[in-house]
Amino acid sequence: MIRLVKPTIKYKQSFINGIKEFQREEKTSKENIKKLEQDFSGFVKQMRNYEKGKNLPKRRVASTYLWLTDGKQWIGETNIRHKLNRALKKDGGHIGYGIRPSKRKKGYGVKILALALRKAQRLGIKKALVTCDDDNIGSRKIIESNGGILQNKIKYKGKVIYRYWIKIF
């Protein structure tokens, strides 16, 4: 059964393997594999603290991190930001998500965003900003499949960002 779960050590190896996939793809993945392997429970605790607004890095907002799983393995993750700061209003928005490369083009992107929108609604977000880079056609389709209405395209930090709004009912 595909569902969102809070970060947990149950998916340690699957998560680490997924991060390795992102790194092989040369996408930005700041996770230090050795550190994850040594202190995965600390990493999970950190993700859960972010939801409470505890120990946030500078310029970060309280965020709910959830993992998409099939009960056996980690498929992807979503980050639901509880409010927007100046930077998130341009790039990032309320919801970010990622599907591990080996699981893409199987409908998981549409599913994770749909589930994240439900969670965002329970957090009191009525209208969610979701952004993506102009060259990420897959993400644009995912956002539009979930009711995203393009507000505009902006240039931010040297790249073009598509900014979509999704009404949550």
Interval 46-56: pLDDT, tens = 999 999 999 99
DSSP-assigned letter for residue 107: S
Is the pTM above the cut of 0.85? Answer: yes
Decide the pairing of beta strands 127-133 and 159-167.
antiparallel
| Mean of all residue pLDDT scores within the chain | 94
Q: Please give the Cα distance from 116 to 147 (Å, whole number).
A: 13
Calculate what percentage of the chain has a pLDDT beyond 90: 89
The confidence score (pLDDT) of residue 25 equals 84
**Domain boundaries in the chain?**
3-125
Q: What is the CATH number of domain 3-125?
A: 3.40.630.30
Q: Please give the Cα distance from 76 to 5 (Å, whole number).
A: 11
What is the per-residue pLDDT across 36-75, written as a single tens digit (0 to 9) for each? 999 999 999 999 999 999 999 888 999 999 999 999 999 9
Paired tokens of 124: 């009191």
Question: What are the residues whose beta carbons fall under 8 Å from the beta carbon of 124, sequence distance 6 or more?
Answer: none
Paired tokens of 5: 């779960």
Contact 83, 61 (CB under 8 A): yes
Nearest to 47 by CA among 9, 21, 75: 9
The confidence score (pLDDT) of residue 102 equals 96
pLDDT-based confidence at 30, cuts 50/70/90? low
pLDDT-based confidence at 32, cuts 50/70/90? confident
